[in-house]
Each structure stands twice: as C-alpha cells, then as structure tokens.
Amino acid sequence: MFGDVKFVCFGGSPKRMEKFAQFMVGQLNEKIPAGMTLSDISHGSDRYVLYKVGPVLSVSMLYHADCKDVKFFRLGTSGGLGLEPGTVVITDAAATLGMILQHPAFLDRDLCEQLQEIGTKNQQYETVIGKTMCTYDFYEGQARLDGAFCDFTEEDKMAFLKRIHDRGVLNIEMESLCFAAMAHRAAVKSAIICCTIVDRLKSDQITASHETLEEWQERPQKIVAKFIRKQLGIE
C-alpha cells in the first residue's frame, strides 16, 4: 500500500493535514471514485492522522513499507524574528537551549534552495532560508512574558531575542530539532518550512485574524505542493 510513497509531509494539527491531503487531491489530479472520500487510514489511532494521496503521505512508518528515495517535509507555523508575519522560513539549521549547539540534525541544503526558489516566485510574501530555534515550550522557552511563569524582564527577553537574531535565527518553533535529527539519522532528505505568524522582536501575542492565520498556514503547503508537482513532471 505504501511502496510508491515518495513525499511524506508532517504537520502539527490533524485538521491541517486533512486539509492538506484534500488540497493535494486537486494538485495531483487524483481521481476519487464517485461516492467515496479520502479517509484517515490510521482511524484506529487517536495519536495522529494518516492520509495517502498518490505518492504523498502525511505520517511515517516507512521502513517496512519498502519506500525508496523518500523526502520528508515538516509544514508548520512559528514565531518570526525581524520578519513580516506571513514570511515563510526554510530552516537551514535547528538549535536549542538559547545557544547554537552542534547536533547531527542536518537538513538538505539543495532541497531548501529548491523550495526557496519556488516560494520566491510568489511576490505576496518573502521566503527566506535561516536558522530555527527549537524549544520545549511556547512561553518561557521562547522568551515570552505572558505565560504562567516568567522569571525574566522585558529587557532580558529583548536582549536574548536580539542575540539569537544576530546569530542568524529567523524563527522559533517546537518540532524542528527532533524532526531534523530523526530524518538525518534515517538518512532521509528533509526540509522544515514554517510560516511566521508573529514578529517576536515586536510582540509576544499572535493577533492576526483566524482567516489570515489560515491563509498563512497554507503558504508552506502550497510551496511543497508545487515542489511535488515539479518532481512528478506535472508543473
């Protein structure tokens, strides 16, 4: 069933990945027989959803499925640093603990550049390559002052954010390091492509409307869809 899979796309929210799968049906001109619909193949699990649209899959477990030459993509959202919210960031290195540490969490440079080239064709927003800081939580760990606990001041926060920004960190999220390390360990080419939804050099709060956030979340999906279409020779 999974032997033809070439592109595996991971996202945080089950709903987002269902919408992405529906979007890919149109993008790949997949024909769903009349009276049938896409269904969550992992329906027995309450931990994740799994949709298959031609050679595109949303979650892993590929080793025993005989897949060859597969690419992994993490599609998500993040807090940006010094970027217009809505900017798409393609990660070239993931780091944690407020310092740039050396982890075997490498991402595929060529894949990053191909995705950036596709993203850059869209003039409505920027697509940039940069470092992503990966954290264990959304509030204290990302130098936010509006969480349940906070032992630092606005000045400490800004000094920290400016320091990491000066070292090339363009966005902050919570999955990249594990994703990059696991894909690298499995020798699978991978990319992390997240839309920023707030500029953390200006604010802790995400104030964009629901509609705007939905549109921003679709940006990485559209870039990866174009990449897949190009790889399959239908773009």
- For ligand URA, the closer of residues 28 and 174 by Cβ is 174
Shortest CB 175 distance to ligand URA, Å:
8
Shortest CB 143 distance to ligand URA, Å:
10
Distance CA 60, CA 123 (A): 33
- For ligand URA, the closer of residues 79 and 130 by Cβ is 79
Strand partners, 190: 72
* Token pair for 34: 């009349």
Shortest CB 42 distance to ligand URA, Å:
24
Would you tell me which residues interact with ligand URA (CB under 6 A)? 77-79, 138, 142, 172-174, 197-198
Distance CA 227, CA 235 (A): 9
Shortest CB 28 distance to ligand URA, Å:
29
Shortest CB 118 distance to ligand URA, Å:
22
Shortest CB 173 distance to ligand URA, Å:
4
- For ligand URA, the closer of residues 77 and 190 by Cβ is 77
CB atoms < 10 A from the CB of 141, how many?
Answer: 17
- For ligand URA, the closer of residues 69 and 146 by Cβ is 146
- For ligand URA, the closer of residues 181 and 208 by Cβ is 208
- For ligand URA, the closer of residues 180 and 198 by Cβ is 198
Contact (CB, 8 A) for 51 and 38: yes
Strand partners, 131: 93, 169
Residue with the two structure tokens 């000094």: 159
